[in-house]
Amino acid sequence: MPRNRLTTQEYLDGIVSNNRTILSQAITLIESKRKEDTIIANDLLSKITQLESNSLRIGITGVPGVGKSTFIDTFGKFLTSKGKKVAVLSIDPSSQRTKGSILGDKTRMAQLSTDELAFIRPSPSGSTLGGVANKTRESLLLCEAAGYDVIIVETVGVGQSEVAAKNMVDFFLLLMLAGGGDELQGIKRGIMETADAIAINKADGDFVKAAKKAKVDYQNALHLFPPNENSWQPTVTTCSAVEKMGIDKIWETIESFERLVKGNGYFSKNRIDQNVHWFHELLNTRVLEKLLTNQKAKEQIQLKIENIEKGIEDPSTAVSEILDIIF
């Protein structure tokens, strides 16, 4: 057995005892595509899902340049100052050409990265849509087993498929900027509808007035959206991560949200719905992987591509015939 691969029980014991080195190794294990690693990872996850957790999952997204990492650094330190253990799963965009990523979030979260109550794990987004990494959900479960009270998922940034991150957190915070033109046109309605709160960051110095105006605009826009299933009315606030202003108000909002959804039963229902959604996503992914690695399927796919290139077959018919052959 390779030196860095422990037994399932050793991983489990290390995680539960909050050994951050073993927690990091376990996340590396579940991110691995090696068959022997996958066997241990699945065994570990099956044991971890049986453990109880009282964690709160918070997703944070925002427009480019909004200062997500700086905000999380300040917000995380605010939480640890209250004695809360905080885990941050930050996603770095991967190059579609080289597949590489910078993974520089630890350097951008200088305060939090040295905090004994915090754990930061950057991961490359790879080819996964939705602003999250391929194994973000599994990493989240490992952090919960390690006893972290608040788990923050920092997404790549706002995009059309960014809403995928909403399906793995309890509270979704959208960071915005003011003074950059018509704010309401600068972001798609879909992402606003998923937000449980909007925080206008960098509301300091010359931008205070613009931030207050943007707050009113967003509040008016949110009232046009249909009511949420969880009975929560999304809020809009202003903050400055650099000046450490408004951070306490955001936490108060999150606590109010948590009390409401736990009180009306939505919190548990949402977690169950997310697991079912996760199951369907994994099933779709694994079926596609099996299809693309099956030799018979690969031969048929290549044949269909050649026919399409020759103009003797259309894509829709080609896909239907491949599925009929394989299944």
Is 128 found in the same domain as 42? no
**How buried is 158 (Cβ within 10 angstroms: 0-12 exposed, 13-18 middle, 19+ buried)?**
buried
Is 153 found in the same domain as 57? yes
Where does the pLDDT of residue 98 fall: very low under 50, low under 70, confident under 90, or very high at 90 and above?
A: very low
Look up the CATH number of the domain holding residue 19. 1.20.5.170
Q: List the structure tokens of 146.
A: 């390690």
Q: Is 127 among the domain residues?
A: yes
Is 22 found in the same domain as 119? no
Q: Is 271 among the domain residues?
A: no
Is 180 found in the same domain as 86? yes
Higher pLDDT, 300 or 246: 246
Range of the domain at 209: 53-264
Q: What is the pLDDT of residues 164-218, one digit of tens each?
A: 778 899 999 999 988 654 444 445 566 788 899 999 999 999 899 999 998 998 8
Nearest Cα to Cα of residue 49 among 142, 154, 178: 142
Find out whether 191 and 61 touch, Cβ atoms under 8 Å: yes
Is 168 found in the same domain as 248? yes
- Looking at the chain, list the stretches that DSSP marks H as alpha helix, in order from N- to C-terminal side: 8-16, 20-31, 35-48, 68-80, 105-108, 136-145, 189-194, 208-222, 247-263, 266-293, 295-310, 315-326
Residue given tokens 């967003």 in the structure block: 218
DSSP state of 240: B
What's the distance, Cα to Cα, between the start and end of the chain in Å? 37
Q: What does the alpha-carbon distance between residue 216 and residue 213 come to, in Å, rounded to a whole number?
A: 5
Q: State which of 211, 242, 264 marks the end of a domain.
A: 264
Is 126 found in the same domain as 31? no
Return the SS3 of 183: helix
Number of domains in the chain: 3
Report pLDDT for 190: 67
pTM: 0.86
